[in-house]
Chains A and B, each alone.
Chain A
């Protein structure tokens, strides 16, 4: 297929002619996947490149969506407005502000970056796909449908109107009663589900599917930035999920977290910013990675101080979790804590200085070509410098006091975040030839950049000059009118620049010149060593960095290769064109097993979407309840369908897996997922402790009826511990090959778990209907903060138990048919989950029953 197999001398030049036949070849060799021209393919595909394209396209759609809302706001801000004046009413304006923020931060920037990550990271690390292709498709569909769900919220009276920070208690129905506000929160929940699935997938892939001898520290900087981003995402989004679950419960089930006077409002701020600050870096890191990559290519110079650059990123990623309270300097936190967070905040700004200087010094002695991608990256760096300097102002607490809630903050974070997005637009041009196989129009690209850069600065710089304007108001001091007008004009220029971009992208796809495999001189990463666009399974052989350079190796003989015990002896470096052909044939043959199509991720997400729409108005009755029921059935059906679907993903035989050599993909994935679950429960337990301290640790007992006794909890502790033991027995039985033993142990697990739930049900029923002097109406979810934390936290745990039991229910008939005989792995993975649920209970029991 391809004959530009690199040998040490002449990799860049000898591509060319043979790649012409590639797309055609790919269409035939599609592994059950319809061709790209077929609409069906896009619903079925699990291929990382297809999904990357879907992500990019969808993210651009949300850019337009959020952008139009921004333009509406800018029109409203043309002049200071009296109530009811202008295009938008007060509530509509608040909706526009909130939806703009949420859409841009959640549904545009990160997914846009992850479109590139999806496409490029497997290519850069030498993987054929992500470790869990169907989960990758699932991430995408959950993302799309969560965005559509957000869209639906506009049609349910009003969408959420409390700002993207969603401060409590404005976020509860007493102040934002619209059904659409609930839907927007649920859309975020669904989005977090997508992020979590995606994080598990990327982390497993990047830790276990790297090409031979590609150490973690050797990852190209774009991939490094993505790896760190994903680690931050895994933990930060778990905290957000906790906040969103609590908020949804407050909105739908009547728990009282955020309406509680003592601490409710601050609890939200803590939970939100614990997520919110890492989120800033989550948004910005991929852009940083792009800048590094693009700078290296178009200056023709390796990044100055590369290892320090990486070290700085690692430092930021770690530190990002200990700076959140700098968003809360004006809440009643004391001086010591302010000092601490001032110090960490300044601390986290310093690594960025180093990265900026590293990029600037990379220019020296370069051969700089001002192509569109470079212009965007260079512009992004310039904008980031302005954003960074104005951020130092905010780090000085005394100044922060005055900037809080003003346009200074708005201007600053737009310079940083949209500055980051600037680099991502550069990425779009940088990888466009690789993704489409066509060159974009360089002239139009430069026009786009010029309009973009002028528009950007006209839009955001005047905001510094009008900084005394409070955020999110449209009645401002008339003295600032000229600055706001300038900003509005800038906003429209920025918008026009995107018309140029869309035209360029579309036009070039039709009439652009065919792109070479490697259109950029001095590019170094692996995606440029294969054809444009790359074939379905990416490489003409197994990529390897043995010897310090990318090679594609293959097995010598095509026949005896089902074992996977590939050693040095069993591989050969393909150097000649002829050998290259052999390689391709051999790999194609071997990979007939790999699956690339599944309809279930789409169906599952669609069903999830329907469920959430139903749940959003479940308190209103009407069509909502049946919709939720239908959706729920769909979810269950799709999950079973997905589990039963035969889907093969051959794990790479030859790969760099440090530090997870001894762990399988599934197990690592489970560990990673559980790590995020630890943060989820941690946030719930933290919330409980926070609210209890706010209430007064001892006073808490007055909120709990005497009927809330230790015994049911104690019995449940025994039940769960015993059930964990039963899972261990099931594993032992599976190792021995005893089907009956497996079935018996799993049935025991199921029975004990059901016992746990029944016991809990009886306990709850009793508490709901308590009739004591203090609680004449019973002790329900909405009774007080103690009942809310108790029911919701143990309820979340109970939901985990139910999920575990459903998995057991699925496994029992399979065990009966001997699926686990001699293969105890699936039971082990389930066991990991089940033991975790067990351990969580060991924390909840003392917290909610004894203390």
Chain B
């Protein structure tokens, strides 16, 4: 983990971040914490509302019996040709509405604190991080390191903030590493920024999350998380050479479509 996040000085942010309620840490931690809270609350609300609905529907099913005329409330049924009006029960309606509003708004405010944390980290610069440019192309990913080294495999050190600048050389792609919960649009002519921290060494897969053509299903890249020292060794040996050996189709395909933007 690198230093304290830069928290924008908004009242909302301060309120939301008070008391250490706001999940921080790697993106995986942040996601999991929020996701599970949402999932449990959402399931609970869903079960309560749907059971209530089923119960009432069952309870007030038409049994075919028609009560005597003098039972006033049941007598007031819609009649053909009337001008529409509502029936009572407004108080209960507003109570439930208020309750649902409180749940939804507080959930979102709570996550807003995390959003500020996540976004703050994107704009924050620190010496203890590495930065990689990601270029999407039909159909693969190219990673460009600060020293000019280019590769179709992303190698990063563990436990270190990795900042990504994501763009595309042809169509709209979306770069995501599902296990590391990082994702960003890759838009031609634009650069989007995001970050992640990988806590465990190992092999992961980056995928494309925006339909980009016939190779979309297979637009993947290997992500290798290395120990910090191992990474240092590897990085010091890299050169600004255009590409790695194992990057078969990369340059040819990437370049050929780069100019495809011109109209006919």
Contacts of A354 in B (CB 8 A): 93, 97
Contacts of A796 in B (CB 8 A): none
Q: How far is the CB of B174 from chain A (nearest CB, A)?
A: 5
- Tell whether A369 is near chain B: CB-to-CB under 8 Å: yes
Q: In the complex, are the beta carbons of B190 and A332 less than 8 A apart?
A: yes
Contact of B260 among A174, A250, A297, A475 (CB under 8 A): A174
Q: How far is the CB of A790 from chain B (nearest CB, A)?
A: 16
Binds B, one of A521-529, A553-561, A836-844: A521-529
Bound Cα distance from A382 to B53, whole angstroms: 8
- Tell whether B158 is near chain A: CB-to-CB under 8 Å: no
Contacts of A370 in B (CB 8 A): 61
Contacts of A362 in B (CB 8 A): 87
Q: In the complex, are the beta carbons of A405 and B209 less than 8 A apart?
A: yes
- Tell whether B85 is near chain A: CB-to-CB under 8 Å: yes
A-contacting residues, B53-100, CB 8 Å: 53, 56-57, 60-62, 73-74, 77-90, 92-94, 96-97, 100
Contacts of B172 in A (CB 8 A): 167-170, 265
Q: In the complex, are the beta carbons of A306 and B60 less than 8 A apart?
A: no
A-contacting residues, B37-66, CB 8 Å: 38, 42, 45-46, 49-50, 52-53, 56-57, 60-62
Chain A residue at minimal CB-CB distance from B109: A346
Bound Cα distance from A350 to B96, whole angstroms: 11
A-contacting residues, B187-218, CB 8 Å: 187-193, 207-218
In the complex, which of the residues B60, B80, B94, B213 has the most CB atoms of chain A within 10 Å of its own CB atom? B80
Contact of A549 among B31, B83, B170, B208 (CB under 8 A): B83
Contact of B213 among A94, A397, A550, A551 (CB under 8 A): A94
Contacts of B84 in A (CB 8 A): 218-221, 302, 306, 524-525
- Tell whether B25 is near chain A: CB-to-CB under 8 Å: no
Query: A362-378 CB contact bits vs B (8 Å, 1 = yes)?
Result: 11111111100000001
Bound Cα distance from A801 to B34, whole angstroms: 56
Contacts between chains A and B (CB distance < 8 A), count: 307
- Tell whether A625 is near chain B: CB-to-CB under 8 Å: no
Q: How far is the CB of A617 from chain B (nearest CB, A)?
A: 13
Q: In the complex, are the beta carbons of B35 and A470 less than 8 A apart?
A: no
- Tell whether B118 is near chain A: CB-to-CB under 8 Å: yes
- Tell whether A474 is near chain B: CB-to-CB under 8 Å: yes
Contacts of A169 in B (CB 8 A): 170-172, 188, 261
- Tell whether B108 is near chain A: CB-to-CB under 8 Å: yes
In the complex, which of the residues B82, B108, B217 has the most CB atoms of chain A within 10 Å of its own CB atom? B217
- Tell whether A810 is near chain B: CB-to-CB under 8 Å: no
Query: A84-107 CB contact bits vs B (8 Å, 1 = yes)?
Result: 000001110110011000000000
Bound Cα distance from A369 to B63, whole angstroms: 9
Contacts of B17 in A (CB 8 A): none
Contact of A471 among B57, B107, B209 (CB under 8 A): B209
Q: In the complex, are the beta carbons of B261 and A174 less than 8 A apart?
A: yes
Contact of B262 among A259, A307, A365, A545 (CB under 8 A): A259
Q: In the complex, are the beta carbons of A330 and B183 less than 8 A apart?
A: yes
Q: In the complex, are the beta carbons of B218 and A381 less than 8 A apart?
A: no
Q: In the complex, are the beta carbons of A259 and B263 less than 8 A apart?
A: yes
- Tell whether B254 is near chain A: CB-to-CB under 8 Å: no
Q: How far is the CB of B259 from chain A (nearest CB, A)?
A: 9
B-contacting residues, A218-234, CB 8 Å: 218-221
- Tell whether A261 is near chain B: CB-to-CB under 8 Å: yes
Chain A interface: which size bin?
Answer: 35 or more
Number of interface residues of B (CB under 8 A): 87
- Tell whether A389 is near chain B: CB-to-CB under 8 Å: yes
- Tell whether B8 is near chain A: CB-to-CB under 8 Å: yes
In the complex, which of the residues A94, A357, A364, A381 has the most CB atoms of chain B within 10 Å of its own CB atom? A357
Chain A residue at minimal CB-CB distance from B120: A335
Bound Cα distance from A381 to B50, whole angstroms: 9
Q: Given known contacts A522-B77, A524-B81, is B57 in contact with A303 (CB within 8 Å)?
A: no
Q: In the complex, are the beta carbons of A349 and B104 less than 8 A apart?
A: yes
- Tell whether B114 is near chain A: CB-to-CB under 8 Å: yes
Contacts of A398 in B (CB 8 A): 30-31, 34, 111, 114-115, 118
- Tell whether A436 is near chain B: CB-to-CB under 8 Å: no
- Tell whether B160 is near chain A: CB-to-CB under 8 Å: no
Bound Cα distance from A680 to B218, whole angstroms: 39
- Tell whether B9 is near chain A: CB-to-CB under 8 Å: no
Q: How far is the CB of A706 from chain B (nearest CB, A)?
A: 25
Contacts of B30 in A (CB 8 A): 398
Contacts of A342 in B (CB 8 A): 108, 112, 115
- Tell whether A725 is near chain B: CB-to-CB under 8 Å: no
Q: Given known contacts A11-B81, A218-B84, A398-B114, is B187 in contact with A266 (CB within 8 Å)?
A: yes
Contacts of A91 in B (CB 8 A): 214
- Tell whether A396 is near chain B: CB-to-CB under 8 Å: yes
Q: In the complex, are the beta carbons of B190 and A361 less than 8 A apart?
A: no
Bound Cα distance from A83 to B215, whole angstroms: 9
Query: B100-125 CB contact bits vs A (8 Å, 1 = yes)?
Result: 11001101100110111011000000
Q: In the complex, are the beta carbons of A396 and B111 less than 8 A apart?
A: yes
Query: B248-264 CB contact bits vs A (8 Å, 1 = yes)?
Result: 00000000000011111
- Tell whether B185 is near chain A: CB-to-CB under 8 Å: yes
Contacts of A98 in B (CB 8 A): 211
Residue contacts A-B, CB under 8 angstroms, 22 given: A11-B79, A162-B211, A175-B213, A254-B263, A254-B264, A266-B190, A302-B87, A306-B87, A332-B191, A353-B100, A354-B97, A358-B93, A361-B89, A368-B61, A370-B61, A382-B53, A396-B38, A399-B31, A402-B35, A404-B209, A406-B209, A522-B79
Chain B residues packing against A (C-beta within 8 Å): 8, 30-31, 34-35, 38, 42, 45-46, 49-50, 52-53, 56-57, 60-62, 73-74, 77-90, 92-94, 96-97, 100-101, 104-105, 107-108, 111-112, 114-116, 118-119, 138, 170-172, 174, 176, 178, 181, 183-185, 187-193, 207-218, 260-264
Query: When A and B form their complex, which 7 residue pairs have the shortest distance between CB atoms, in order from nearest?
Result: A306-B86, A405-B209, A550-B81, A261-B189, A473-B217, A90-B214, A396-B111
